[in-house]
């Protein structure tokens, strides 16, 4: 009967890297609890250049119901895997190294590297995106309102400038007309005075 090694590791939306030894013929599993609709990304590599007969190390992922949702063979080349949780619960990432075909010799214990990163919950991510979109829409509306207010202010200033220009023209016209009348009156008064003086002196000479 195969012996299982279980290690419970708590992840908090960050990367967790482990380096450990595998033993031929034995399976080693890592447990972690995830919420539903969570994206999990992992990286793996067999660090020792010892390839067992059989093709490498088998990596498998089991859901809370112990159903295999992912399986692949790994070797000394660095690789990646990813899966999305369908339900909340404990998921297992298991590794098993095949037995050598030889009759003699100790079992191999190669060094293995495993890193698992828990991504954002897709529902939370969607909600965050919707929140960002809503925030952007509100900012756009605010900018549009500021632009409309600025345009209205510009139009009002232009209307006030037009009114002031018309009033200035009227005032200038009134000043011009008043000045013209004053000039006409002064000229008329001067002509009348000259006429009066000439008539007065003419009468003095006659007498």
Number of structural domains (the chain) is 1
Q: Could you tell me if residue 83 is inside a domain?
A: yes
Cβ atoms 46, 57 nearer than 8 A: yes
Q: Could you tell me if residue 34 is inside a domain?
A: yes
Task: Provide the pairing of β-strand 15-21 with 57-62.
Answer: unpaired
Query: What is the torsion angle, in degrees rounded to the nearest 10, for the CA atoms of residue 60, residue 65, residue 69 and residue 71?
Result: 20
Q: State the alpha helices, DSSP H only, in the chain.
A: 122-206
Cβ atoms 61, 93 nearer than 8 A: yes
Q: Could you tell me if residue 80 is inside a domain?
A: yes
What is the per-residue pLDDT across 43-54, written as a single tens digit (0 to 9) for each?
A: 988 887 665 455
Cβ atoms 99, 23 nearer than 8 A: no
**Which DSSP category does 56 fall into?**
S
Q: Could you tell me if residue 108 is inside a domain?
A: yes
Q: Could you tell me if residue 188 is inside a domain?
A: no
Cα separation of 101 and 55, whole Å? Answer: 12
Q: Could you tell me if residue 82 is inside a domain?
A: yes
Q: What local confidence, expressed as pLDDT, does residue 197 receive?
A: 80
Q: What local confidence, expressed as pLDDT, does residue 14 receive?
A: 43
Burial 98-132 (b: 16+ CB within 10 A, else e): bebeeeeeeebebebebebbbeebeeeeeeeeeee
What is the per-residue pLDDT across 173-197, written as a single tens digit (0 to 9) for each?
A: 888 888 989 998 899 888 888 888 8
What is the per-residue pLDDT across 47-105, written as a single tens digit (0 to 9) for each?
A: 876 654 556 788 999 999 999 999 998 877 788 899 999 999 999 999 988 776 554 55
Residue 144 pLDDT greater than 80, yes or no: yes
Phi/psi-derived region of residue 114, left when phi > 0, alpha when psi is between -120 and 50, beta in every other case: beta
Cβ atoms 67, 83 nearer than 8 A: no
Tell the residue number behind the tokens 């400038």, with chain if given: 161
Residue 10 pLDDT greater than 50, yes or no: no
Q: Could you tell me if residue 61 is inside a domain?
A: yes
User: Residue 95's domain is classified under what CATH number?
Assistant: 2.60.120.380
Q: What local confidence, expressed as pLDDT, does residue 206 receive?
A: 55
Q: Could you tell me if residue 113 is inside a domain?
A: yes
What is the per-residue pLDDT across 151-179, written as a single tens digit (0 to 9) for each?
A: 888 888 888 888 888 888 889 888 888 89
Domain that holds residue 67: 19-123
């Amino acid at each position: 009967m195969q012996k299982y090694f279980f290690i419970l590791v708590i992840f908090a939306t960050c990367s967790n890297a482990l380096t450990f030894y595998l033993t031929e013929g034995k399976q080693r599993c890592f447990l972690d609890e995830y919420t539903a609709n969570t994206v999990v990304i992992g990286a793996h590599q067999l660090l020792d250049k010892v390839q067992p007969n059989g093709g490498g190390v088998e990596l498998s992922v089991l859901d809370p119901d112990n159903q295999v949702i992912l399986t692949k063979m790994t070797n000394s080349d660095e690789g990646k895997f990813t899966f999305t949780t369908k339900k909340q619960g404990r998921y297992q990432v298991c590794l098993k190294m095949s037995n050598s075909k030889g009759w003699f010799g100790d079992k191999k214990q190669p060094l293995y590297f495993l890193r698992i990163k828990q991504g954002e919950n897709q529902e939370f991510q969607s909600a965050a995106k919707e929140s960002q979109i809503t925030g952007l829409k509100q900012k756009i509306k605010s900018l549009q309102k500021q632009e409309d207010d600025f345009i209205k202010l510009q139009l009002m200033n232009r209307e006030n400038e037009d009114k002031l220009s018309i009033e200035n023209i009227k005032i200038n016209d009134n000043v011009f007309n008043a000045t013209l009348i004053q000039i006409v009156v002064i000229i008329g008064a001067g002509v009348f005075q000259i006429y009066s003086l000439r008539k007065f002196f003419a009468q003095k000479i006659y007498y």
